[in-house]
Amino acid sequence: MKLTDLKIPILQAPMGGIDCIELAAAVSNAGGMGSLAMTWTEPVAAAEMVLRLKAKTNSPFFVNFVISYPPVSFDAVIEADVPAITLSWGQNPELIERAHRRGIPVGVQVGTVEGARIAIDDGADFVICQGIEAGGHVQSTTTLETLLRQVVELGRNVPVVAAGGMADGADIRWAIGKGATAVMLGTRFVATQESRAHPLYKEAIVNSTGADTSYTLCFDGGWPYAAHRVLRNETLRRWEAAGCPPNGSRPGEGDVVARDSSGTEMHRYSVSPPQASTTGEVMECCQYAGLGTSKITDIPSAIDLVPRLWNECKIME
Ligand SMILES: Cc1cc2nc3c(=O)[nH]c(=O)nc-3n(C[C@H](O)[C@H](O)[C@H](O)COP(=O)(O)O)c2cc1C
């Protein structure tokens, strides 16, 4: 699998709790590259998901591991012969080597030029530059423009993927013009028919602008000290009004604001975003979104969205 072989150079970002087989299959079948976040999935389920996705598409897709956590399902997805893997939040040459032994390419998401250099030295087949504009957990403290320029200037002959704050054809055209081989969009795909996001979360993305997002440490229940970009909501406002106190003394910390499909409690500061099956005060849960939310005005099917974005990009040529 080579990024340059993609019919449409658009990757769907792995999105814990939000991506799903239907979304990944739609993106891949449309000519882009879908993905599944596997960090928090047990091995048997992970292998099964890879096989189920393979049954729905003959086109390439990838799975992702946030390596701040033990990659418990890494061997399982390799055994299932996943087409590609990405790593984020760290470097691990041993994992890259294990995938390469089975002929599986590995991309590494980075937030610094030093991270890109290490990833390439470790054998990464592509690097994903994540700018601070990104939705979800944000490794970067640099704008995408600066990071992309620095990584392209490394001139190491490894495809570079641009991510963070992009949501329309003009963004894609801009990134390719700056030397990116492909782009990776997250927030744009939250607001699609196929995503597992709660309908109110999708609607909130459509109705918000970049100014309605914050880069914060607020929602750290389950993943402390990792910055993230979310839509501003009541939980965030109350925490800020209290002076952004640390874990243990935050307002409403013990509140159960919602429940997931199995009835499990979701606490106010949980890192889990609300899914279609979540019940309760879903708007008080964290809702990841990047600065590109300004340009998202609808909730299409990903099958239509991928070629539409590509056409928008090409029309500008
Ligand atoms: C809801 C959501 C969940 C995410 N989960 C993950 C994840 O599990 N692993 C990961 O590497 N990145 C994750 N990200 C970050 C993406 O990899 C990507 O960098 C980001 O979505 C790009 O910015 P954009 O959302 O502005 O397009 C997530 C992003 C969002 C919006």
pLDDT of residue 94: 98
* Residue 31 burial class via C-beta count within 10 angstroms: exposed 0-12, middle 13-18, buried 19 and up: middle
Question: What is the Å distance from ligand 1's center to 15 Cα?
Answer: 5
Atom of ligand 1 nearest to the CA of 229: 31
309, two tokens: 């974005």
In this structure, are residues 136 and 35 in contact, taking their beta carbons and an 8 Å threshold? Answer: no
For the chain, the first-to-last Cα distance in angstroms comes to 27
Q: Which of 316, 311, 315 is nearest to 7 (CA)?
A: 311
Residue from 137, 184, 270 whose mutation best tests the ligand 1 pocket (most atoms within 8 A of CB): 137
In this structure, are residues 278 and 17 in contact, taking their beta carbons and an 8 Å threshold? Answer: no
Q: pTM here?
A: 0.98
Question: What is the Å distance from ligand 1's center to 228 Cα?
Answer: 9
pLDDT of residue 179: 97
pLDDT of residue 317: 58
CB atoms within 10 A of CB 47: 21
Mean pLDDT of each 10-residue bin along the chain, 317 residues long? 94 98 98 98 98 98 97 98 98 97 98 97 98 98 97 93 98 97 98 98 98 97 94 98 94 95 94 97 97 98 98 83
Backbone angles phi, psi at 107, to 5 degrees: -105, 150
In this structure, are residues 168 and 314 in contact, taking their beta carbons and an 8 Å threshold? Answer: no
In this structure, are residues 171 and 187 in contact, taking their beta carbons and an 8 Å threshold? Answer: no
**Is the CB of 66 within 6 Å of ligand 1?**
yes
- Report the alpha-carbon distance of residue 104 to residue 235 in Å, rounded: 42
Q: Please work out, in degrees rounded to the nearest 5, the angle formed at the alpha carbon of residue 53 by the alpha carbons of 48 and 57.
A: 150
**Is the CB of 37 within 6 Å of ligand 1?**
yes
Q: DSSP for the chain?
A: --GGG-SS-EEEPP-TTT--HHHHHHHHHTTSBEEEE-TTS-HHHHHHHHHHHHHH-SS-EEEEEETTS--TTHHHHHHTT-S-EEEESS--HHHHHHHHHTT--EEEEESSHHHHHHHHHTT-SEEEEEPTT-SEE---SS-HHHHHHHHHHT--S--EEEESS--SHHHHHHHHHTT-SEEEESHHHHTSSSS-B-HHHHHHHHT--GGGEEEES---BTSTT--EEEE--HHHHHHHHTT---TTS-TTTT-EEEE-TT--EEETTBSPPPBTT-EE-GGGS--B--GGGGG------HHHHHHHHHHHHHHT-
Check whether domain 3-194+301-315 has CATH 3.20.20.70, yes or no: yes
Question: What is the Å distance from ligand 1's center to 187 Cα?
Answer: 7
- Report the alpha-carbon distance of residue 27 to residue 13 in Å, rounded: 11
Question: What is the Å distance from ligand 1's center to 18 Cα?
Answer: 10
Question: What is the Å distance from ligand 1's center to 312 Cα?
Answer: 23
Q: Alpha-carbon torsion 257, 67, 11, 118, what sign?
A: positive
**Is the CB of 14 within 6 Å of ligand 1?**
yes
Q: Alpha-carbon torsion 42, 44, 49, 51, what sign?
A: positive
Q: What is the dihedral angle through the alpha carbons of 223, 92, 11, 73, rounded to the nearest 10 degrees? A: -70
Question: What is the Å distance from ligand 1's center to 184 Cα?
Answer: 9
**Is the CB of 192 within 6 Å of ligand 1?**
no
CB atoms within 10 A of CB 45: 12
Residue nearest to atom 6 of ligand 1 (CA): 15
Q: For the stretch 140-155, what's the b/e string if a residue is b when 16 or more beta carbons lie within 10 angstroms of its beta carbon?
A: bebebbebbebbbeee
Residue nearest to atom 7 of ligand 1 (CA): 15
pLDDT of residue 1: 84
Provide the residue ranges of all domains of the chain, joining segments of one domain with +.
3-194+301-315, 199-292
* Residue 58 burial class via C-beta count within 10 angstroms: exposed 0-12, middle 13-18, buried 19 and up: exposed
